[in-house]
Every structure is written in structure tokens, then in C-alpha cells.
Amino acid sequence: MSAETNPYRRETLVQQLATVPTWDLIVIGGGATGLGVAIDGISRGYKTLLLEQADFAKGTSSRSTKLVHGGVRYLAQGDIGLVREALHERGLLLQNAPHLCHNQAFIIPNYNWWGGPFYTLGLKLYDLLAGRLSLGESVHLSKAETLRRLPNLRPAGLRGGVLYHDGQFDDARLAVNLAQTCIDYGGTALNYCAVQGLLKDARGRLTGVRATDLETGATYELQAKTVVNATGIFVDQVRQLDEPKVSPLVQPSQGVHLVLDQSFLPGDAALMIPSTEDGRVLFAVPWLSHVVLGTTDTPVPTASLEPQAQEAEISFLLRTAAQYLTRAPTLADVRSVFVGLRPLAAATAGFTKTKEISRRHKILVSASGLITITGGKWTTYRRMGQDTIDRAIALGRLPLAPSRTEHMRIHGAEATVEASVPDSLAPYGSDQAKLQQLISETPALGQKLDAQLEFRQAEVVWAARHELARTVEDVLARRVRLLFLDAAAAVRAAPTVAALLAQELGHDQAWQAQQVAAFNQLTQNYLLLKQ
């Protein structure tokens, strides 16, 4: 594919800002929610533009626990409707993005006599709510079978376990594929293009946005029939562009995750602790040949693109893991730490703890017509998009058209995996053959980015050409996930990534040096033992 015909070429996408006189739909925010809204709009035939101030999934949407789930905890809280909706969406996502989402077995260990019957009965209801989209039957396990599946689990006092099924996925890779899907279906999705103002007519009705391309500095006034604020933890900043004195809607809560070697959780089952010392749920989940341990739920005063883990949160995770694992992780075993902020709706009356605030999404419409969606979670991103566009139609801002996302395959889903394709390329789905061709044409691109992990240099070139990656961070954090798996390895790989990107994007040595320096500074947030 030549540069001229490549639909993912940034210059091609930017040009559309100047050539489309009026958009049906402009979506502000390139995380899970914004991408869901944009794709739903595109599925109905609307001319759609998505604008993201940083990179796709730069914030919360790349920092999840990597679960596509109904929410066992929400079941315990009695929110049957939310669980049923999430389980339905879980099933659809596994069908529509099979290259990124898969069935994951979870085990709840029982150290109390009542644990087996209690959790078995509860998870039977979980299975029932999933209906025909169930991923497998929940079953009670003996002590011996539990230890066989979780060899590092503490055996003292163990009575058995309960096995159930949920989904697992790669959140940032899904976001990238959703951005590609937007473009595949004729939409426009741009990262590093910040909305800095809203346009209104003489009556105060919203008519569009003012946006700046952060790479060139060019500013655009973009007309739209509908504008959706889907900026996650930053929704209040956009709402204040509309109404400067508006009351805050979101209470940020941060969740910390520690990444460990797979040796701490041998086998293919995940560990789920349903109630920790402060009533939270804790997961240890196999992910990309590592283990993700998390999460916490800590209120924070302000939103940030790079939240930092607190010592108390790290101690809580390690202390809780030590209560259940025979070989317990220490600070020295942590390969990476990452933190995500949840955009919890603050106005939930009667709840003082963030873990009690509903994860349901909320849609608000301002006097000017700005539609804001907040709350929710990755699993229900598609339904959030559908509900948002339904609201825009109900307001008379868009013509009536049915949503077609329920069975809409996501970019990469139509995969026919060749036996010779390396496992590291599996997340690319139907793009695997093109990556293989890239390596065949330039064998040097088959070399690893770091000897300890399977990521290849070809993935950097592919990310620049077809996945809108613009920086070293874009590649190592959200395209190949190296920063989230092993921060020290990401530091080692940064110069190679910078050189490959510079060649693809036309940058000089000074740009490479600046990129490596900026990335090395960023990685300090992901390293517990500073380098």
C-alpha cells in the first residue's frame, strides 16, 4: 500500500478537517467511551469525526485490569441489571474481536467452610445471567484440583475453590483497532488534536468545536450537528468550556496494578480474591506471559494523564498477595506498575466510598446541546456508544437510523492464522500476514526489540504506518505494551524504537534524542526501583 492510498496516514486524516463543511457527529475523546460513540455513529451512516488530545487510550482506557467481565462484585451488590448488560456485552466483544479477547478461567479459593457453597451458588446465577453468551459453567473444585490449577496458592487452611469464566483482553490494542475501524468505515479519527473551545450560534446553541493540531499548531473551526463529550476523567474540563461555573460531575478514583513474572501464577488460571481486608476484590491475572495484580480504589483530588501509585496502595497489593501465595512477590519482583483513573459519577447520593459508587454510565445534555457521557467501563463501551447516539436522535440532532454495532467486526477480527505466524503477532489478527510480509521484505525487522520479550521491530514500522503511532511512548506503551510489562526493558528498547520511528515519520537525530529522554523520564512512574 502506497503512502498516497494509506487511509491511516495522518496527513490524509488531517486534510479532512479542512474539506468537510459540516460533520454529523464530533466526538471529543479517544478512549473506550469516545471510540464506542464514534463507531456507533459511523454504523448508522453519520459523517463522524473523533478528536483525541493525546494518543488513543492514553488515559484510563490503557490501564484497566484487562478484564471483559460482568462484574462479580456488582452481583454481590445486587445490581442485577448492570451485570446482565455487561455479560451480554462481554459475549459480543469476544465475538467481534476474537484476536484480542478470549475466555479466561478464574478460581476463587475457599478458606472457610461456607465459601464453596456460597460462591458456587452465586456464580451459577452469574452463568444464568449470561444466557446463550455464557463462556462456560462454574464448578466447585476440590483442594487438590485447586492447587493443581494454582500451584503457588497457599495450601494451609484451603478447603477447595470455585472455577468460573470471564473474558480477558488487551485494552490499548483494542482501542487502536477501534480507531482503525472508525477509519475503515469512512470516519475520521485523529490523535494529538485537542479541542480547546466550543462554537455556538447567537442563541447559545452548540454548533461545533475549535480544535488545534498539536503537531502543526494549525487551528480549525469545525461545524457539527452534534458534539459528544466522551473524555472520561476529563469530562468536567470540557463541560466548563460550555458552562464555566458548572458543578463537577466526576470523582476520580485510582486503581493501581503491579506486573509480575508469570512464575508467580503458573498455569493458565487467574486468581480472584472476593474480599480483601478492606472489602475490595483483588485479581491476579495471566496477561501476555506476565501476571497483572490489582487493583486498588483510592479517591484522588484531580485528574491526570499520568497518575502515580501511592506507597500504601503498593503495600496493600503486595501484602494481600502474600496472604494467598506461597512464594510472595516483593518490590524487587515488580516489572512495572501502572495506574488508571476511573471516571466515577460523583453525584450518587448516600455513597461515601468509591467502591460503592455505581459503574453505570450516565448521559447528560446541557442547555447548549452538549452531550456528555461518563461512568461505565470497557466491557460496556459499545452499549455506551449506542445509548449516547440514541439520545442525540431523541433530541432531534441526528436523523433516525438503527445502530449496527452489535455484530460489527472490529479491525483485525477476520483472522486466518497461519501455522508459521509467531505468537507475538497473534493480536494483529487479519493484519498478521502483512506484518509477516514486512519482515520477509526487510529481514532485519524480524529482530526483537528486547531479548527478554517477543516484540519485533516490524511492529514499530507497522504502528507508524497503520496505527497512527507518533511517539516512542505511543509504541512502547500502547502498541506493543512493553512499558506495561517490563519498564526496564522498555527503556532499553527506546533508542531502537526512536530510530525506526524517525525513519518512518521523517524526523532527525535531535527528535530521536528528545523522544528517548522524554520516554526515560516517563518510565520513572512505572518503575518501583528507580534506575
229 in Cβ contact with 29 (< 8 Å): yes
- CATH domain 101-168+251-342 topology: D-Amino Acid Oxidase; Chain A, domain 2 (3.30.9)
Q: 199-230 pLDDT, tens per residue? A: 999 999 999 999 999 999 999 999 999 999 99
Residue 1, pLDDT > 90, answer no
Q: What is the pLDDT of residues 436-466, one digit of tens each?
A: 999 999 999 999 999 989 999 999 999 999 9
Give the SS3 label for residue 112.
coil
**Domain 423-523 in this protein, CATH class:** mainly alpha
Neighbours of 180 (CB within 10 A): 21
Q: What is the pLDDT of residues 115-148, one digit of tens each?
A: 778 888 889 988 999 999 999 999 999 999 999 9
Alpha helices in 432-530 (DSSP H): 432-441, 457-466, 472-473, 482-485, 487-505, 509-523
Question: Where do the domains of the chain lie?
Answer: 3-60+173-249+356-394, 101-168+251-342, 423-523
Q: Answer whether residue 159 shows pLDDT above 70.
A: yes
CB 100 within 8 A of CB 173: yes
| Amino acid identity, position 281 | V
Cell numbers representing residue 176 in the block? 487502536
Stated as kind and residue range, the H or E segment containing 345 is strand 336-345
The residue-averaged pLDDT of 91-106 equals 96
Q: How confident is the model at residue 78 (pLDDT cuts 50, 70, 90)?
A: confident
Please check whether residue 138 is in contact with residue 24, taking contact to mean a CB–CB distance below 8 angstroms: no
* Domain 3-60+173-249+356-394, second-level architecture: 3-Layer(bba) Sandwich (3.50)
Please report where in the chains the cell 479532512 appears, as a residue. Answer: 16
For 407, other C-beta atoms within 10 Å of its C-beta total: 8
Interval 302-324 mean pLDDT = 94
Shortest CA distance to 374 belongs to which of 406, 341, 401, 329? 341
| Structure confidence at residue 251 as a pLDDT band (50, 70, 90) | confident
> In the numeric block, which cell numbers belong to residue 285?
491475572
